[in-house]
Amino acid sequence: MTTPANEPQGLAPQYRAFKRMLDERGILFSFSGYLSEGILYSLGETLRQKMTLDDTNITTIKKVFSVFIEQAQNIIRYSAEKVLGNVGKNVELSSGMVTIGTENGRFFIVCANTILEEDVPRLKQRLELLQRMDKDEIKAYYKEQLREAPDENSRGATIGLIEIARRASEPIQFDFDRVDADKFFFCLKVSI
């Protein structure tokens, strides 16, 4: 970590400040780096255990867990930063970030990853459509998509995004930030 003059010096003070910054934002946990299905499983289990120990009601646990899984699987599938290969078995490691926390009495889940510029318009269009829909419209759209054959190259993204929007307690928020000539940083925030 770099340490500008106004930041604490020393290893422990630096990381303590970093941790405090996350804590102050209500973050329960945040994962940044290469995400795999194994990490998804372990983080998901820990998340459910933590919420269960905190006496969170089962419907809220289910919603948070579902949004977490769909978002993490979207990163694994669609991140533009991937390492693929065989290490005795086929592995697909995808770079991204998943953050879960609480604010104003609600859980929130933010996922972020880089995506190719050519994929931005379609993703933006899908998310804007979901943002404009009310609960009943989202539910009807989900049922309609359940019966549709999957889009080519999508590996199930449409229905995954609808599932995310369906579990949200307020409209989903998203944003894109240009990284370089052909990539954007994409993030999606869902409150439950």
Partner 1 sequence: MENLMIAATERSPEVDFDFATGRLSLKGESYPEDASAVFGPIFAALERFLGDAAGKDVQFDFDLIYFNSSSAKALMNMFQLLDAAAGRGIKVVVNWHYAADDETMQEFGEDFSEDLEHVTFNLVATEG
Longest dimension (CA), the chain: 58
Q: What is the DSSP letter of 134?
A: -
Shorter beta-carbon distance to partner 1: residue 77 or 124: 77
In the set 30, 41, 54, 128, which binds partner 1 (CB under 8 A)? 41
Shorter beta-carbon distance to partner 1: residue 21 or 83: 83
CB of 164 to partner 1, least distance (A): 9
Residue pair 116/183 in contact (Cβ under 8 Å)? The answer is yes
d(CA 192, CA 172): 10
Footprint (CB under 8 A) of partner 1, residues 74-113: 76
Sorted by sequence, the CB contacts under 8 Å of residue 80 that are 6+ apart come out as 113, 114, 115, 116, 183
CB of 77 to partner 1, least distance (A): 9
Q: What is the DSSP letter of 118?
A: G
Q: Does 59 bind partner 1 (CB under 8 A)?
A: yes
In the set 26, 101, 156, 171, which binds partner 1 (CB under 8 A)? 156
* Structure-token match 């995004």, residue found: 161
Q: Does 66 bind partner 1 (CB under 8 A)?
A: yes
Q: Does 172 bind partner 1 (CB under 8 A)?
A: no
In the set 31, 34, 70, 113, which binds partner 1 (CB under 8 A)? 70
Q: Does 151 bind partner 1 (CB under 8 A)?
A: no
d(CA 131, CA 125): 10
φ, ψ dihedrals at 33, nearest 5°: 140, -150
CA atoms within 13 A of residue 60's CA, in its CB half-sphere: 18
Q: Does 51 bind partner 1 (CB under 8 A)?
A: no
Residues of this chain that bind partner 1 (CB under 8 A): 37, 41, 57-59, 62-63, 65-66, 69-70, 73, 76, 139, 142-143, 146-147, 150, 155-156, 159-160, 162-163
